[in-house]
Amino acid sequence: MKIVSVLNHKGGVGKTTFTGCVCQALALSGFRVVAIDNDSQHNLSTMLGTGVHTPNIRDVYRAADGDAAGVFLRSVRTTEVPDLHIVTSQAGLVDADISSTDSLRDCLAACSLERFYDYILIDNAPGMGRLQEAAIVASHEIFVPTELKQFAVDGIAVMERMLESRFGQAAHITKIVPNFYKDTKRQNSYLVALGSLFGDRVTRTAVPADSVFDECITESKVLFLHRLYSKGAAYYLKLIHELFDLDEQSVWEAMVAKRKRRMSEDARRRFLERRRKQDATHAS
């Protein structure tokens, strides 16, 4: 089982959309995935269609050491994507809820989640406080989505130095994902700068700026089930191949099959609903 923190101490770089799309793509590719919403804005909980529930990650942090694992397991919720589960967050989540930055790591180990899941992805708020530290300590890898702007590029270098000073080799940025790509001369110059600074840790796939992401969130749609043939979905499929060394053809075939099944289920549900309404009209 691999645990990944999605982190950037700068806000507005697309961390939550990245986390949600990657979780959905992995689950639809046949992996068992749990997402942890470690952000008080709880946008990932909304994106994955569950909203806020109790218990949630705040209750896990505030539980006594011996109780945290049980609270975590009771916090796990299903989503509309089979094999994708989530531990939601809530607006009250703050750094002070964490008694020890080792608590999440110890809790996940006590749950023996490797029996149930292949991947855990943790979505983090901007910043570098105790909430982010707890996620870092619990994780095997750190993925950093970033804008292609000067401050964003500079900020990753600052963040890496910060991680090294606080955690040494225990926390390492393994992948940097260019986001909101528009193929402009300026953005391409920042891609070159990222490559010069971080080498092959920068993904070859840059996620394009595409309104399909906002559409899916607004309409509560799953990108790979409802907009599989969009540009955004195509680039995310390339990206998860690169991030997790998956076979592109196998992933595509799995997505197509599950999209076809979902469309069939949706059509059947609409048919039965129409029949129900017709029967009700005739009965009246």
What's residue 248's pLDDT? 84
What's residue 270's pLDDT? 85
Cα angle 39, 42, 45 (rounded to 5 degrees) comes to: 125
pLDDT single digits (tens) 118-142: 999 999 999 999 999 999 999 999 9
pLDDT single digits (tens) 26-72: 999 999 999 999 999 999 999 998 989 999 999 999 999 889 999 99
**Residue 182 confidence class, pLDDT cut points 50, 70, 90:** very high
For 108, other C-beta atoms within 10 Å of its C-beta total: 24
Q: Count how many residues are written for the chain.
A: 284
Q: What is the mean pLDDT of the chain?
A: 93
What is the spatial distance between Cα 134 and Cα 101, in angstroms, rounded to a whole number?
4
- Name the helix (H) or strand (E) containing 232: helix 231-244
For 271, other C-beta atoms within 10 Å of its C-beta total: 10
Q: In DSSP terms, which residues pair with 119 in a beta bridge?
A: 2, 33
For 257, other C-beta atoms within 10 Å of its C-beta total: 11
Nearest to 47 by CA among 224, 226, 282, 217: 217
**Residue 284 confidence class, pLDDT cut points 50, 70, 90:** low
Q: Which domains does the chain have, with CATH numbers?
A: 2-259 (3.40.50.300)
Region 210-226: what's the mean pLDDT? Answer: 92
**Residue 5 confidence class, pLDDT cut points 50, 70, 90:** very high
Region 216-243: what's the mean pLDDT? Answer: 93
pLDDT at 210 over 90: yes
| Residue 133 to residues 9, 21, 36, 126, Cα–Cα distance (Å) | 11, 23, 14, 12
CB 18 within 8 A of CB 207: yes
Residue 85 identity:
H
What's residue 111's pLDDT? 96
Would you call 8 exposed, middle or buried from its count of C-beta atoms within 10 A (0-12, 13-18, 19+)? buried
Express as a percent the part of the chain with pLDDT over 90: 76
Q: What torsion, rounded to 10 degrees, do the Cα atoms 219, 223, 228, 229 define?
A: 70
pLDDT single digits (tens) 259-269: 888 888 888 88
Nearest to 107 by CA among 127, 137, 84: 137
Would you call 95 exposed, middle or buried from its count of C-beta atoms within 10 A (0-12, 13-18, 19+)? middle
Region 266-282: what's the mean pLDDT? Answer: 81
Q: What is the DSSP string of 38-82?
A: E-TT-HHHHHTT----SS-HHHHHHS-TTTHHHHHHHHEEE-SST
Lowest mean pLDDT among 21-30, 74-83, 261-270: 261-270
pTM of the predicted model, to two decimals? 0.92
Region 199-212: what's the mean pLDDT? Answer: 95
What is the spatial distance between Cα 284 and Cα 282, in angstroms, rounded to a whole number?
5
What's residue 167's pLDDT? 86
